[in-house]
Amino acid sequence: MSDVSRAREPKACRSCANAKVRCEQEDGGGICKRGWRCRRLNKSCVVQNPGAHKRQKQKSDVARLEQKLDSMTALLAASQRLSGSIDVSPGQVQAQPVLPVSPAVSSIIEEVLPIEDEAELLFDMFRRYMAPQFPFVVIPFDMTAVALRQKKPFLHLVIMMVSFQGEASRQLALGIKVKEYISNAIIMRSEKSLDLLQGLLVAVAWYHFQIKLGNQLTNIVYLMLALVTDMSLNISSRKHSVSPHLYLEAVTKMRPLQTDHTLEERRAFLGCFYITAIVSMCSKDIDPLRYTDYTKECCRVIAEAGEYPTDQYLVSLVQMHNMTDRINRMLSCDESEPLGAILSAPLGMCIQLLEKELEAIKTTILPETPENTSLLIHHHTLSIWLHEVALHPHIPPSRYGTYTTTRLHILFSCLTSTSAFFQDFLSLPDATYITMPYFFTAHFLHAFLILSKLLLFQHPAWDRQYVASVLDLPSIIETIIAKADANIQRPGIHHVPEIFRLLAPRLRVFKEFHVLWKAQSEGEGVDQGEGDALTNERLQEMIEDLALQFPGDASWQDFMFG
């Protein structure tokens, strides 16, 4: 082979190529100088095959545009035929607030939906084991899967997607159809319905089941907020405040305005409040909805009605997360808006005030309620979020006042809350981890990373050995891995969420990274023969190996070092 031909061949070994780092091979050895990485990962140092980076031939732009135009033409034609056959009398318009799903979309969904008997089993599993953990969308026990599909087709599709654990490929296909339905409903049909809002709520509630579909959590959350605004679900009554959109729609479609919100609508609005609170707390990439008088009114109306057993759990979750916005506004750690500019009082006094409010909330959590552990986990997360402010390096020392131990007290409270979180979280039955909503995963990852920060935090008076004696991170990692393995090996479970299968190897890499980083920061356990190249390059590679995305679009490096 000529030298010119060989110059175009890949020169890096596969491991270095995957890590996107420079590969320098030893002369005549056939092994790269960084072969220790291959040995550590139990990988052979294999050279890439010729043509490994050759781009696949793609369709021409014209062909792809023609395909999209054909698809849009078919959808529009079907929609026009359907709308032309509907009588627009007032009675029928009120019975059909939005255009039904077009035949083109319906036929596509039919291809991936489970058969009727299988759908009823999945529907029953969702209603019994999953829905009680997310009380903002309630399915009556006398409703069948067929009836729900006729009444709320999108909610039915999403429920099938999140509860389908029998075959990964079909669950993924359902997830793709959910995305296609959202695009068609919002863009093509301008749909604004409770069915669409409830379906989005359920899709976000079990978002970790869609891990292979890309991270679009923030997009879906903002779609929910847009629907809430367009449907005027965020205002107390439509009698005195009607949005221009709803007024024009009522006039053009001769539909009487509904003045009072139903209990279903109130639950959906509170679900949006709860979701924005969790995402803002664990991801910090959106602003939570404010706890307003209308939010309080919704809680009161739902509690007084007592329509479902889970309504009290819903009210407790919403009232607890009234604290999210208060903590966020009082203790904002945004570097662009220094803490001193928001509040002039010493940081310790502010935290003591919020601690008293959190303690008052905790007294309302009754130990005999089925949701006791869940509410405690939420409470611990709020407490961690309140006290983790002491870990932020850009807060000036003057904000802690004249008492030098103030920061240590806050750090110790953060450690205590983190310890309580893991005690309750790890006490849950193994089977619970399969059906629990995404928000518990967000809570766990947030607490997990705060624990790592506490173990690595450097301060003259901070005893990291004591922190390690209270919470042993490697032991916690092995406990989580054991619970994930127990679910994978459970009889009768053919498929568990993909995140369980990804968890063990990535957490072990994280543990290895944490131990190495801790040893380096303490000046222990690092072979001098490898020098700086070992410590710095290996830490960077372990970050690349982990490649684990956390809630929102922030990586774990942002949580660890941001």
Q: Are residues 33 and 139 both part of a single domain?
A: no
Q: Which of 338, 228, 221 is nearest to 285 (CA)?
A: 221
> Which is higher by pLDDT, 23 or 429?
429
Cα maximum dimension of the chain: 85
Distance CA 245, CA 226 (A): 12
Mean pLDDT of 404-415: 90
Residue 127 has pLDDT above 80, yes or no: yes
Distance CA 3, CA 483 (A): 54
Residue 87: its pLDDT value, please? 40
Which range has the worst mean pLDDT, 109-118, 194-203, 480-489? 109-118
Q: Are residues 34 and 155 both part of a single domain?
A: no
Mean pLDDT of 95-123: 59
Residue 458: its pLDDT value, please? 84
Considering the domain boundaries, does residue 201 fall inside one? yes
Q: What is the pLDDT of residues 131-178, one digit of tens each?
A: 999 999 999 989 999 999 999 999 999 999 888 876 667 778 888 888
Mean pLDDT of 544-561: 40
Distance CA 161, CA 248 (A): 35
Instruction: Give residue for tokens 């084991």.
Output: 129
User: Would you call 463 exposed, middle or buried from its count of C-beta atoms within 10 A (0-12, 13-18, 19+)?
Assistant: exposed
Residue 153: its pLDDT value, please? 93
Sign of the four-CA dihedral 551, 555, 560, 562: negative
Residue 243: its pLDDT value, please? 56
End-to-end CA distance of the chain: 50
Distance CA 506, CA 314 (A): 34
Could you give the angle at which helices 194-205 and 168-183 cross, rounded to 10 degrees? Answer: 140
Q: Are residues 247 and 121 both part of a single domain?
A: yes
Q: Are residues 107 and 250 both part of a single domain?
A: yes
Distance CA 38, CA 15 (A): 7
Q: Are residues 152 and 20 both part of a single domain?
A: no
**CA-angle at 150, arms to 148 and 151, nearest 5°:** 65
Residue 456 has pLDDT above 60, yes or no: yes
Residue 552: its pLDDT value, please? 39
Residue 330: its pLDDT value, please? 79
Which range has the worst mean pLDDT, 89-98, 289-298, 542-551? 89-98
Mean pLDDT of 485-511: 71
- 220, 242, 263 - which closes a domain: 263
Considering the domain boundaries, does residue 34 fall inside one? yes
Considering the domain boundaries, does residue 397 fall inside one? no
Residue 79: its pLDDT value, please? 43
Residue 508: its pLDDT value, please? 81
Length of the chain measured in residues: 562
Which range has the worst mean pLDDT, 184-193, 208-217, 238-247, 501-510? 238-247
Element housing 267 (H / E): helix 263-282
Instruction: Give residue for tokens 């793709």.
Output: 176
Kindly state the tokens that stand for 512.
Answer: 């290895």
Please tell me whether residue 47 adopts helix, strand or coil conformation: strand
Considering the domain boundaries, does residue 481 fall inside one? no
DSSP string computed for 99-151 = PPPPHHHHHHHHHHSPPHHHHHHHHHHIIIIIGGGSTTS---TT--HHHHHHH
Kindly state the tokens that stand for 348.
Answer: 């310790």
Distance CA 182, CA 184 (A): 6
Q: Which of 383, 378, 473, 469 is nearest to 425 (CA)?
A: 378
Q: Are residues 31 and 129 both part of a single domain?
A: no
> Which is higher by pLDDT, 368 or 133?
133
Range with the largest mean pLDDT of 24-38, 243-257, 280-294:
280-294
Mean pLDDT of 281-297: 84
Percent of the chain with pLDDT strictly greater than 70: 62
Q: Are residues 133 and 231 both part of a single domain?
A: yes
Distance CA 548, CA 511 (A): 13
Q: Which of 263, 258, 260 is nearest to 302 (CA)?
A: 263
Distance CA 347, CA 390 (A): 9
Provide the 8-state DSSP code for 232: T
Q: What is the pLDDT of residues 291-324, one digit of tens each?
A: 999 999 999 999 999 999 999 999 999 999 998 8
Residue 347: its pLDDT value, please? 83
Q: What is the pLDDT of residues 335-360, one digit of tens each?
A: 445 444 445 677 888 899 999 999 99
Beta bridge partners of 32: 25
Band of pLDDT at residue 225, cut at 50, 70 and 90: very high
Element housing 219 (H / E): helix 217-230
Considering the domain boundaries, does residue 546 fall inside one? no
Residue 424 has pLDDT above 90, yes or no: yes
Q: Are residues 15 and 153 both part of a single domain?
A: no
- 263, 289, 308 - which closes a domain: 263
Kindly state the tokens that stand for 244.
Answer: 């221009």
Task: Give the domain range for residue 26.
Answer: 3-40
Which range has the worst mean pLDDT, 77-91, 234-248, 417-431? 77-91
Q: Are residues 154 and 25 both part of a single domain?
A: no
Number of domains observed in the structure of the chain: 2
Residue 288 has pLDDT above 70, yes or no: yes
Which range has the worst mean pLDDT, 81-85, 201-205, 384-388, 390-394? 81-85
- 239, 263, 287 - which closes a domain: 263
Considering the domain boundaries, does residue 214 fall inside one? yes
Q: Which of 517, 511, 456 is nearest to 480 (CA)?
A: 511
Considering the domain boundaries, does residue 120 fall inside one? yes
Considering the domain boundaries, does residue 110 fall inside one? yes
Kindly state the tokens that stand for 221.
Answer: 């959350």
Q: Are residues 28 and 108 both part of a single domain?
A: no
Q: Are residues 151 and 244 both part of a single domain?
A: yes
Q: What is the mean pLDDT of the chain?
A: 74
Mean pLDDT of 517-540: 51
**CA-angle at 170, arms to 168 and 172, nearest 5°:** 70
Q: What is the pLDDT of residues 430-450, one digit of tens each?
A: 888 888 898 898 898 889 889
Distance CA 339, CA 347 (A): 9
Kindly state the tokens that stand for 139.
Answer: 């399915």
